[in-house]
Structure 1
């Protein structure tokens, strides 16, 4: 129908007669319907509105039904690698799903047996960005494993010191028609083995790099070490143990700072591990040379350690640049620059004289040679100012330690190979309450270590080894002895006969 026909007089006469419908109620609806049907534009608009309303209501009802279904029948658990329970949950998922899942990823590790033969260890786990389903206690659980591309996590190897960057991983577990406490029981089962390992060993904590969130616990605990396994000079172990026991048994608030100093490889860190094992404490290790630390973050982690923990600041001297060496480098660079300028000037003058026909006398030749030497010396590369080994300042450490000392029940250990390099403000009374030198082996330590490694050795073998070690002109550290004894495991005579291999 054209627009002109829509506005024709007949149309208006029909519409104008609409008022007369009221006089005859029985014909009102049929005539109205006839009007709508005779005008497709008006009828189409009403139809679109009607069906749109039906679609909206259907979508709303579906959304409400889905929400109600998920609220009453679906239970979801989300956990990321930043949660200390993540590895325990991931381990349980691996054990339950590796034989049920069709999409797997594998982590292979090469290990070596005691006889030196290598072998492979494979660990299967659900593939990333795939959905997996497994049964746990007759309950179906759907697992989705993914990595968060915009988040990374850095982990520092406590043995090599290497920092590895990993993406933060997330596990989403979903199950249906389960009791409200299902996930509580699931997490309890997942953490059961991990908690047993924690009881058997020592939990090691390190700060989360770049995250400012505090401490992260190492997945694997460190084996406990008895005080009897640490062989030091007579009285050292007893003296420090007695000092710690005095405060631990009294149950009163205490704040203690300890400094262990001495050559490398003498067992300072091993002694601290044994003390932590004896008093059932965790160890929080802070490497000040880690450039992800700053004063603010150091203050946070050092004042908010996990419960029942001691704080260990390892090799604290290595964190700072020796000021005397820094000044020497600056002075040498100035001398190099000055010598270079003088040498270039004298060399240019001598060459200019020769160019104008003046013969070079013997003195001129010496001056020219010296000038070239100065110029060559001046061309040596400058010693670039060494970069700071840490973003932590001395004042930042002092403020953090003062914060620790103002809190209750805090134990701080520091180790250093060079006590004389430490600032006096760092080790003053109040920050350091107890200092102990840990040195190289003494004749008594030679004997005790030999008998500990070789329980079936004869007295003659032990005395022969002690005599050889005592007569050695060079000092021997416990680490050197241990390496030698391991090399000749179960062979005390071999350890004696090959004593010269100790380096």
Structure 2
């Protein structure tokens, strides 16, 4: 029994492979050996391998480039349909003109009513690729002209695209770039002060845009200009404070003092400084009544100052004058004091309003008109102090010596009467090229 089992196990272990399988293995082995020794096959296989590696490498580069662009590169695209297109190109050109010999020009002609024609030319980066730096980063600029056209300002022109490319994907960089380009463009634009007056039932621009007057050109007593600006800055930044406390968001100013002390001039300079327009209301207008006054006081354009000049003249009391029956005092105004008070802070009064009133005689005004809530800040504009005399003299004559400034100040102080800034300015205009003559002739050629 044991012997039989051993024989059977031995036969099972040593069982030979089927003849057919052995033949297949030999065939494949012989074929592989034959191909491997063939030089043509080896070269083809090598080329195929290189091609496969190159294909995978190219694919990897494409994927890597796409990932890198998404992760590390950002672009900003602007077309000439955008208002920002022109001044972005100008902003770029100011920083890349020395690297960009390829330029284009935009020309404009402006004809005035008198016949004078003024030409202006703006150089811009030409079509193609340019480079410039902003905020310590290199930016690539590609300006391209498309085939189709757009219509802008009534003129058909080709569509143009500017693509800006930089390293880094922070969108705040582009926001800062556009803000800087916008501010630079706006600073070069011809802007000025707009004066509005009531016509019919609406406000309309009166005349052309006036040149902006700098704040420092209006010489006031020391600290007055700074104090008014600080108060106005505080008001403009306190809307939420007013709303949270249920206080109407309005501010009223009264400027009072002798004539020629700069009350109206300073208001116009303030408007120009803050980018506001001025809406002038004349209370002595025979067409203005209480209803129209209330309408105009509450429909002024946004970002505007409402100005009531010489409010004391609108409500003159006849018993202040010797000739009380003079025709000039008959029907002086159709506006009543009650109507004025209601237009300032009545039920129909709007918010976000800044009102300025001027007067030469504050004692002629009714106490109800200048109480807090209607007039929140009163400022006195007085005649010239020694500080103001010196400041006016220095504004007229650049690089003038301290000795001449002191001499003019002393000459004015010897004058028997107080003098207004308007009086000093009128005198200096007569001798604008000679400070010495202005000093020598003060009080001789002038009349107050």
Instruction: Please tell me the TM-score bracket, short chain as reference.
Output: 0.5 to 0.7
Q: Structure 1 402/492 Cα, relative in aligned 2: closer, same or farther at 3 Å? A: same
- Partner Cα separation in structure 2 for residue 265 and residue 293 of structure 1: 27
Contact 2:396/2:428 (CA < 8 Å) preserved in 1? yes
Contiguous gaps of at least 5 residues in structure 2: 1-108, 118-149, 156-185, 243-248
The aligned residue for residue 367 of structure 1 is none
The aligned residue for residue 393 of structure 2 is 450
Equivalent positions of 1:220-369 (< 5 A) are 220-252=208-240, 254-325=249-320
Q: Structure 1 471/272 Cα, relative in aligned 2: closer, same or farther at 3 Å? A: same
- Partner Cα separation in structure 2 for residue 199 and residue 491 of structure 1: 32
Whether 2:404 is the aligned partner of 1:461: answer: yes
Find the partner of 2:191 among 180, 196, 200. Answer: 200
Deviation at 1:218, TM superposition (A): 2.1
- Partner Cα separation in structure 2 for residue 463 and residue 488 of structure 1: 17
- Partner Cα separation in structure 1 for residue 425 and residue 270 of structure 2: 20
Q: Structure 1 196/219 Cα, relative in aligned 2: closer, same or farther at 3 Å? A: farther
- Partner Cα separation in structure 1 for residue 364 and residue 446 of structure 2: 29
Q: TM-score, normalised by structure 2?
A: 0.55
Equivalent positions of 1:100-499 (< 5 A) are 121=114, 185-186=153-154, 200-208=191-199, 211=200, 213-252=201-240, 254-325=249-320, 383=326, 386-403=329-346, 406-499=349-442
Q: Structure 1 285/202 Cα, relative in aligned 2: closer, same or farther at 3 Å? A: same
- Partner Cα separation in structure 2 for residue 276 and residue 385 of structure 1: 33
- Partner Cα separation in structure 2 for residue 255 and residue 404 of structure 1: 13
Q: 213-222 vs 414-423, which deviates more?
A: 213-222
Deviations along 1:204-239, one digit per CA (max 9) or x if unpaired, are: 10111xx2x220112411211221111111111111
Q: Secondary structure at the match of 1:233?
A: coil
Deviations along 1:432-456, one digit per CA (max 9) or x if unpaired, are: 0000110100011001110111113
The aligned residue for residue 51 of structure 2 is none
Contact 2:235/2:251 (CA < 8 Å) preserved in 1? no
- Pairwise CA RMSD: 2.9
Equivalent positions of 1:33-44 (< 5 A) are none
Q: TM-score, normalised by structure 1?
A: 0.49
Larger CA Rg, structure 1 vs 2: 2
Q: Structure 1 316/497 Cα, relative in aligned 2: closer, same or farther at 3 Å? A: same
Q: Secondary structure at the match of 2:367?
A: coil
The aligned residue for residue 446 of structure 2 is 502
Q: Secondary structure at the match of 2:153?
A: helix
Deviation at 1:95, TM superposition (A): 7.9
Contiguous gaps of at least 5 residues in structure 1: 1-93, 99-106, 108-120, 125-180, 188-194, 331-381
Q: Structure 1 288/472 Cα, relative in aligned 2: closer, same or farther at 3 Å? A: same
Q: Secondary structure at the match of 2:216?
A: helix
Q: Structure 1 384/308 Cα, relative in aligned 2: closer, same or farther at 3 Å? A: closer
Q: How many residue pairs get matched?
A: 269
- Partner Cα separation in structure 2 for residue 264 and residue 198 of structure 1: 35
- Partner Cα separation in structure 2 for residue 95 and residue 499 of structure 1: 44
